[in-house]
């Protein structure tokens, strides 16, 4: 009996010690959490960090009874602080619930902040245990993140989800650059690669902003963690080819039978391999693009499915893709001197000793290295028809 009591007390003590030390003591019911969907970070003129949160209003989204647009479903508000963490805590001066960052969809960075470096911002989101690594990072072009996040969406309940899902369209539109948070961290850590981040810009400036007034297109080129320049849509298309993130998209090319009219080709698949080699003791990067697609539309009535027409078309497309790639290469090499393609990493993997030599001076080295581009495009089919309808 005595031993039993002894053991019972021991078990009780162990149990309570476990409760104290488990580190899981954060029982916060979901009704006391505020789900943050979008985070915007800006630098204000007085050198403070301004944090904007887009928070879901818990009662407003009711799937059963039809949604009433996003005007009432989210709540956007901002606070300032010297550091980001302080700004986060300052939120509690306004909000009664605990902001919960695990479902953040987009992190939008104002261009003012991007110019001074995004490392501090990235650090907190990487260090804290709440946010996932999945949100997409966007830079707000010539505007503030606060403005972007305040925009409403008529299509989705949560505007941040609207933006996030636009970025997922990069599967079908190779002009969209989707840089997720985890890839951004990865790129920042590689000495041989500089990140490029997607960009959201406001097209129609007005008071009551809607996402319909905005476009996600182009990109921002970074050197280390600092913004150095904008890329337009064409550059992003070329960049996606090099990064092997180009999947599906529309290529317009001139109709070989009918000058002044166009043929649209839907690219279905694209694979890029990058090889490094030495030629005459000079570093050469070889980019090989292997893509295929269908004829999606034709202005004109000629039969494009003949062998000659096809090879003609393929040649034109290969040329246009090559031009796009060479354009972005020249931008990166000559204008910005920033290795956004990760060539340094390729070199590191193949010639690690040589890489150690050139590493401190890589951006200079990169701008002088030779890059060969080979594109192969194959047209697989012409849709359901061979001959277009002749209008007579």
Partner 1 sequence: MFRKLKHIFKYIKLDKEKLRKDKINISENINQQIPNHIDNIEFKLKEIFQDSNDFIIRKITTGNQFKTRILIAYIDGLIDKQLIDDNILKPLLLESQKVIDDESISKRNIIELFEETLITASEIKKVDDFNRTIKAILSGDTVIFIDGTESSFVVSMRGWEARAISEPNTESVIRGPREGFVETLRTNTSMIRRKIKNPNLKFESIELGEQTRTEACICYLKGIADDNIIRDLKKRLSCIKSDGILESGYIEQFIEDAPFSPFPTIGVSERPDKVAGKILEGRIAILCDGTPFVLTVPYLFIESLQSNEDYYSRTLYSSFNRLLRFVSLIITTMLPALYVAILNFHTEVIPVKLVFSILNSNEGIPFEPVWEAIFMLIIFELIREAGVRMPKPIGQTVSIVGALVIGQAVVEAGLVSDIMIIIVALTAISGFIVPSLSEILPFIRLALIIGANILGYMGIVLIVVIVILHISSLRSFGVPYMSPFAPFRSKGMKDTLIRMPLWTMFRKTESLSWKYSGRYSINKNFNEKEE
Q: Is residue 391 close enough to count as binding partner 1 by CB under 8 A?
A: no
| Angle 263-264-269 from CA coordinates, rounded to 5° | 135
Stretch touching partner 1 by CB under 8 A, among 24-32, 44-52, 267-275, 384-392: 24-32
Q: How far is the CB of 211 from partner 1 (least distance, A)?
A: 18
For 136-198, give the DSSP string: EEEEEETS-HHHHHH-B-SSSSSHHHHHHHHHHGGGT-TT----BHHHHHHHHH-TT---EEE
Q: Is residue 181 close enough to count as binding partner 1 by CB under 8 A?
A: no
Q: Is residue 35 close enough to count as binding partner 1 by CB under 8 A?
A: yes
Q: How far is the CB of 27 from partner 1 (least distance, A)?
A: 5
Stretch touching partner 1 by CB under 8 A, among 20-28, 115-123, 298-306, 382-390: 20-28
| Number of chain positions touching partner 1 (CB under 8 A) | 32
Q: What does the per-residue mask of binding to partner 1 show for 52-91, with x meaning CB under 8 A?
A: ----x-xx-xxx----------------------------
Q: In the structure encoding, which two tokens stand for residue 192, read together? A: 């041989």
Length of the chain (residues) = 392
Query: CB-based contacts of 16: which residues, under 8 Å, 6+ apart?
Result: none
Q: Is residue 6 close enough to count as binding partner 1 by CB under 8 A?
A: no
Q: Is residue 7 close enough to count as binding partner 1 by CB under 8 A?
A: yes
Q: Is residue 2 close enough to count as binding partner 1 by CB under 8 A?
A: no
Q: Kindly list the distances between the CA atom of residue 378 and the CA atoms of 207, 231, 262, 278, 289, in Å, as whole numbers in the listed order.
A: 48, 28, 18, 30, 11
Q: Is residue 26 close enough to count as binding partner 1 by CB under 8 A?
A: yes
What is the chain's alpha carbon radius of gyration, rounded to the nearest angstrom?
26
For 290-301, give the DSSP string: EEEEEEEEESS-
Quote the CA–CA distance of 320 and 251 in Å, as a whole number. 9
Q: How far is the CB of 185 from partner 1 (least distance, A)?
A: 18
The three state secondary structure string of 32-47 is: HEEEEEEEEEEECCCC
Q: How far is the CB of 65 from partner 1 (least distance, A)?
A: 10
Q: Is residue 157 close enough to count as binding partner 1 by CB under 8 A?
A: yes
Q: In the structure encoding, which two tokens stand for residue 21, read together? A: 């030390």
Pick between residue 21 and residue 389 the one whose CB is nearest to partner 1: 21
Q: How far is the CB of 30 from partner 1 (least distance, A)?
A: 5
Q: Is residue 29 close enough to count as binding partner 1 by CB under 8 A?
A: yes
Taking phi first (over 0 means left), then psi (-120 to 50 degrees means alpha), and beta for anything else, what does residue 260 get? left
Which residues inside 240-259 make contact with partner 1, applying CB under 8 A?
A: none
Stretch touching partner 1 by CB under 8 A, among 17-25, 172-180, 258-266, 290-298: 17-25
Quote the CA–CA distance of 256 and 301 in Å, as a whole number. 11
Q: 129 and 158 in contact (C-beta within 8 Å)?
A: no
For 335-363, give the DSSP string: II---TT-HHHHHHHH-HHHHHHHGGGHH
Q: 176 and 167 in contact (C-beta within 8 Å)?
A: yes
What's CA 6's distance to the chain center, in Å?
A: 61
Stretch touching partner 1 by CB under 8 A, among 7-15, 242-250, 252-260, 374-382: 7-15
Q: Is residue 24 close enough to count as binding partner 1 by CB under 8 A?
A: yes
Q: 126 and 44 in contact (C-beta within 8 Å)?
A: no
Return the residue of 12, 17, 69, 130 that touches partner 1, per CB under 8 A.
130
Q: Is residue 20 close enough to count as binding partner 1 by CB under 8 A?
A: no
Quote the CA–CA distance of 258 and 280 in Å, as a whole number. 45
Q: How far is the CB of 88 from partner 1 (least distance, A)?
A: 17
Please tell me what DSSP assigns to residue 18. H
Pick between residue 59 and residue 361 the one whose CB is nearest to partner 1: 59
Return the residue of 49, 91, 100, 256 that touches partner 1, per CB under 8 A.
100
Pick between residue 156 and residue 339 the one whose CB is nearest to partner 1: 156
Sites of contact with partner 1 (CB under 8 A): 1, 4, 7-8, 11, 18-19, 22, 24, 26-31, 33, 35, 56, 58-59, 61-63, 100, 102-103, 105, 130, 132, 157-158, 161
């Amino acid at each position: 009996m005595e031993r039993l009591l002894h053991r019972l007390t021991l078990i009780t003590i162990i149990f309570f010690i476990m409760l104290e030390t488990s580190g899981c003591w954060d029982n916060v019911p979901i009704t006391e959490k505020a789900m943050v969907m979008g985070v915007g970070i800006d630098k204000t003129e007085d050198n403070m960090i301004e944090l904007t949160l887009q928070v879901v209003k818990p009662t407003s989204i009711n799937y059963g009874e039809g949604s009433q647009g996003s005007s009432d479903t989210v709540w956007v508000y901002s606070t300032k602080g010297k550091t980001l963490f302080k700004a986060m805590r300052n939120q509690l001066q306004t909000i009664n619930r605990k902001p919960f960052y695990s479902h953040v969809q987009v992190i939008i960075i104002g261009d003012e902040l991007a110019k001074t470096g995004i490392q501090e911002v990235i650090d907190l989101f990487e260090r804290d245990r709440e946010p996932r690594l999945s949100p997409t990072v966007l830079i707000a072009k010539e505007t503030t993140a606060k403005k972007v996040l305040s925009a409403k969406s008529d299509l989705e309940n949560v505007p941040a989800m609207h933006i996030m899902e636009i970025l997922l369209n990069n599967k079908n539109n190779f002009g969209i650059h989707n840089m997720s948070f985890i890839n951004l961290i990865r790129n920042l850590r590689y000495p041989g690669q500089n990140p490029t981040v997607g960009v959201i810009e406001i097209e129609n400036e007005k008071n009551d902003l809607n996402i319909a007034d905005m476009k996600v297109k182009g990109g921002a080129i970074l050197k280390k963690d600092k913004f150095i320049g904008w890329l337009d849509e064409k550059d992003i298309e070329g960049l996606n080819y090099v990064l092997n993130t180009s999947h599906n998209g529309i290529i317009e090319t001139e109709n070989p039978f009918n000058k002044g009219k166009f043929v649209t080709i839907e690219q279905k698949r694209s694979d890029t391999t990058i090889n490094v080699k030495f030629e005459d003791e000079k570093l050469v990067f070889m980019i090989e693009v292997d893509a295929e697609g269908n004829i999606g539309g034709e202005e004109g009535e000629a039969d494009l499915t003949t062998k000659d027409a096809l090879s003609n078309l393929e040649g034109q497309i290969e040329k246009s893709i090559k031009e796009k790639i060479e354009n972005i290469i020249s931008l990166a090499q000559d204008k910005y001197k920033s290795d956004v393609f990760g060539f340094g990493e390729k070199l590191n993997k193949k010639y690690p000793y040589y890489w150690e030599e050139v590493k401190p001076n890589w951006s200079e080295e990169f701008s002088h290295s030779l890059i060969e581009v080979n594109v192969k495009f194959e047209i697989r089919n012409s849709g359901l028809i061979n001959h277009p309808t002749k209008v007579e």
